[in-house]
Amino acid sequence: MKVLLANKYLFNNGGAETVLFQERAFLTGSGVEVIDFAMQHERNIESPYSTHFVSRQDYRNGGYLARIRGALALIHSREAVSKLASLIDETRPDLMHCHNVYHQLTPSIVGVAKSRGIPVVLTLHDTKPVCPVHTRALGNQLCSLCLTGGFHHVLTHRCSDGSLAQSATLYLEAVTQQWLGSYEKVDRFIAPSLFMQDSVSRRFSPDRTVLLYNGVDVRNISPRGRDNGYVLYCGRLAPGKGAETLLRAHQAAGCSWPLVIAGTGPLTDDLKSQFARNVQFAGHLSGDTLSTTIAEASVVVVPSEWCENCPMSVLEAMAQGKAIIATRIGGIPELVNDRETGFLFEPGNVDELRTHLECLMGSGELRAQMGAAGRVRVEKHFSLDKHNAELIAVYRSLLPGRTSVVAAAVNGARSP
């Protein structure tokens, strides 16, 4: 079996790429031939298909005309359509699985595969098909205005940072893909949370959407019970991620314990200037350094203020046996059992977060108990083996005439 994996980046740039590379490794290890399609980038891993990748696009920089051209390219990329057509004709994949293809690749590529009789799977890492700004947020409230396809609301409310120009671009992008029927041509949407499944089922037939939680490799993560007395945040320092809420809660608690902030983003300098006492801004961490930082933390906090889907940061921390404090928003409550594997709090509520921090940081026994319960929950419901087996089942449902290699991959996913 040949599977074409499409994602704008072919390097680990965030949660979407973590899932992509997990699935890519599983498929290649199961005898499936993987064909890559991405954007040219110096950080990409090596791929025999890189000559087919689209030119690097950065629609935020450059002069006025360059930004206009970039904006038009994110609506419909003729280059991506042409290069994907050439790649498909050369490699003849059995199935195309899209991850984060918005903007630089554009959903227009779906029609290329469908015109050649190739089924298409799209993993929904965010709500982009039903929300032009992908956050499902209007101010500080959960928004459902565009879920059924009436995208004019993005103009009415200037949803993209209050900018009419940016909002208009996203509106044009949404209605263009609606006119092209790009999402209507997707055979299966993979929703990594019930929250996501419900969001897209308002517009698309529910039988086209499959619930498939992200998975974490519990076989290679062994909790060691280390607890070095610090609170940890792993994520972008950007609006909507809630890092400032955590820093204010830490400050309100008297900065009684060290707080490690692992991440970078546009708010970095501002947060550093406001919050310095007993706070370590560790920058972007990855690989063994990140794993060790999580393993030695006392508590991991995920204070997101917009709708997270199935954040890998939560799953990875639970796999390490860590108690979680996270917001009651999006798909997070599907992962964290309140008062069993951690605590949930209302987004932006500094006092509630402070209370939970004081409770857990005041009791090593409680956080060890919650962390152990989280590990059991991950093993049972969110293991990578379980995810891979269910992924192959999705592929198999779309390839009824090509079952031999698919069956072998299913057996590989289930073997101990």
pLDDT single digits (tens) 125-148 = 999 999 999 989 888 788 999 999
CA-based nearest residue to 93, from 411, 414, 398, 413? 398
Q: Are 21 and 112 in contact (CB under 8 A)?
A: no
Residue position matching structure tokens 């608690």: 253
Q: Are 369 and 377 in contact (CB under 8 A)?
A: no
* Band of pLDDT at residue 14, cut at 50, 70 and 90: confident
The whole-angstrom separation of Cα 416 and Cα 410 is 12
Structurally, at CATH architecture level, domain 2-215+383-414 sits in 3-Layer(aba) Sandwich (3.40)
Cα–Cα–Cα angle for 147, 186, 312, rounded to 5 degrees: 70
Q: According to the model, what pLDDT value does residue 58 have?
A: 64
Domain with CATH 3.40.50.2000 in the chain: 2-215+383-414, 218-381
Report the pLDDT averaged over residues 269-294. 95
Instruction: Give how far Cα 264 sits from Cα of 245, 247, 402, Å.
Output: 16, 15, 45
pLDDT single digits (tens) 336-367 = 999 999 999 999 999 999 999 999 999 999 99
**Neighbour tally for 369: CB within 10 Å:** 14
Top CATH class, 218-381: alpha beta
Rounded to two decimals, what is the model's pTM? 0.91
| Segments of 161-289 assigned E as strands | 188-191, 209-211, 231-234, 259-262, 279-281
| Token pair listed for 212 | 């498939």
| pLDDT at residue 63 greater than cutoff 50 | no
| Token pair listed for 75 | 């609506």
Amino acid at 183: Y
Q: Are 121 and 395 in contact (CB under 8 A)?
A: yes
Residue position matching structure tokens 């092209």: 180
